[in-house]
Structure 1
Amino acid sequence: MYRLFFTLVLRRFDAESVHHATVRALAVLSALPFAKRLLHRWLAPHDPALRVSAFGVHFPGPFGLAAGFDKDAACAEAISALGFGHVEVGTITAHAQPGNPRPRLFRRVGQAAIVNRMGFNNHGAAAAERRLRRTRGLPVVVGVNIGKTKVVPESDAAADYVASARRLAPLADYLVVNVSSPNTPGLRNLQAVELLRPLLSAVKEVAHGTPRRTPLLVKIAPDLADEDVDAVADLALELGLDGIIATNTTIRHDGEQGGLSGRPLKARSLAVLRRLRARVGDRLTLVSVGGVEDVDDVWERLLAGATLVQGYTGWIYNGPFWPSRINRQLSRRLRRHGMKSITEAIARSA
Structure 2
Amino acid sequence: MYRSLARPLLFRLDAEDAHHLTLNVLEAASRVPGWPVLASAALPPAPALAQTVFGQHFASPVGLAAGLDKNAVAVPAFSALGFGFLEVGTVTPRPQPGNERPRLFRLTEDEALINRMGFNNAGADALHARLSALARQPTPVWVNIGKNKDTPNEDAAGDYLKCVHALQDVADAFVINVSSPNTPGLRALQAADGLGELVRAVLDATEAGRVRTLRRPPVLVKLAPDLHPADFEASVGAVQQAGAHGLIVSNTTLGRDGLFSGKAGETGGLSGRPLTRKSTTLIREAYRLTGGTLPIVGVGGIFSPADAYAKLRAGASLLEVYSALVYEGPGLVRRLNRGLAELLARDGVGHVAEIVGVDAR
Fold-level match, TM-score > 0.5?
A: yes
| Displacement after TM superposition at 1:298 (Å) | 0.5
Task: Give SS of 1:348's match.
Answer: coil
Task: Give SS of 1:183's match.
Answer: coil
Aligned-partner residue type, residue 8 of structure 2:
L
| Displacement after TM superposition at 1:328 (Å) | 1.0
Distance 1:37 1:340 in 2: 27
Q: Which residue of 2 aligns with 1:38?
A: 38
Q: Which residue of 2 aligns with 1:113?
A: 112
Task: Give SS of 1:160's match.
Answer: helix
Residues 195-214 of structure 1: pairs in structure 2 closer than 5 A: 195-209=194-208, 210=210, 211-214=214-217
Conserved? CA contact 2:226–2:255, under 8 Å: yes
Please give the TM-score of this superposition, normalised by the length of structure 2.
0.93
| Displacement after TM superposition at 1:191 (Å) | 0.6
| Displacement after TM superposition at 1:33 (Å) | 2.6
Aligned-partner residue type, residue 52 of structure 1:
Q
Q: CA RMSD in A?
A: 1.4
| Displacement after TM superposition at 1:282 (Å) | 2.1
Which of 202, 220, 223 is 1:220 aligned to? 223
| Displacement after TM superposition at 1:44 (Å) | 4.4
Distance 2:354 2:277 in 1: 24
> Runs ≥4 in structure 1, deviation > 6 angstroms?
none
Q: Which residue of 2 aligns with 1:186?
A: 185
Q: Which residue of 1 aligns with 2:28?
A: 28
Aligned-partner residue type, residue 259 of structure 1:
G
Conserved? CA contact 2:284–2:357, under 8 Å: no
Task: Give SS of 1:74's match.
Answer: coil
- The unaligned stretches of length 5 or more in structure 2 are 257-263
Aligned-partner residue type, residue 256 of structure 1:
E
C-alpha distance after superposition, 1:289-310 (max 9, x if no partner): 0111110011001111110011
Distance 1:300 1:246 in 2: 14
Q: Which residue of 2 aligns with 1:234?
A: 237
Distance 2:183 2:134 in 1: 33
Conserved? CA contact 1:208–1:215, under 8 Å: no
Conserved? CA contact 2:292–2:357, under 8 Å: no
Please give the TM-score of this superposition, normalised by the length of structure 1.
0.96
| Displacement after TM superposition at 1:213 (Å) | 1.9
| Displacement after TM superposition at 1:347 (Å) | 6.2
Conserved? CA contact 1:291–1:314, under 8 Å: yes
Distance 1:65 1:156 in 2: 30
Residues 168-183 of structure 1: pairs in structure 2 closer than 5 A: 168-183=167-182
C-alpha distance after superposition, 1:30-76 (max 9, x if no partner): 2223221222123442x211101111111001111110101001111
Task: Give SS of 2:296's match.
Answer: strand
**Corresponding position: 1:328 with 2:341:** no
Q: Which residue of 1 aligns with 2:306?
A: 296
Task: Give SS of 1:217's match.
Answer: strand
**Corresponding position: 1:278 with 2:273:** no
Aligned-partner residue type, residue 293 of structure 1:
F
**Corresponding position: 1:252 with 2:255:** yes
Distance 2:22 2:8 in 1: 17
Distance 1:134 1:187 in 2: 31
Conserved? CA contact 1:180–1:219, under 8 Å: yes
Aligned-partner residue type, residue 125 of structure 1:
A
- The unaligned stretches of length 5 or more in structure 1 are none
Residues 88-107 of structure 1: pairs in structure 2 closer than 5 A: 88-107=87-106
Task: Give SS of 2:148's match.
Answer: coil
Query: Number of aligned pairs?
Result: 349
**Corresponding position: 1:243 with 2:246:** yes
Aligned-partner residue type, residue 309 of structure 1:
L
Q: Which residue of 2 aligns with 1:77?
A: 76
Conserved? CA contact 1:169–1:206, under 8 Å: no
Which of 341, 344, 349 is 2:351 aligned to? 341
Stretch moving more, 213-222 or 137-146: 137-146
Distance 1:55 1:4 in 2: 40
C-alpha distance after superposition, 1:259-307 (max 9, x if no partner): 0000111122111111101100222111110111110011001111110
Q: Which residue of 1 aligns with 2:272?
A: 262
Distance 1:30 1:110 in 2: 33
Distance 1:244 1:191 in 2: 13
Task: Give SS of 1:324's match.
Answer: helix
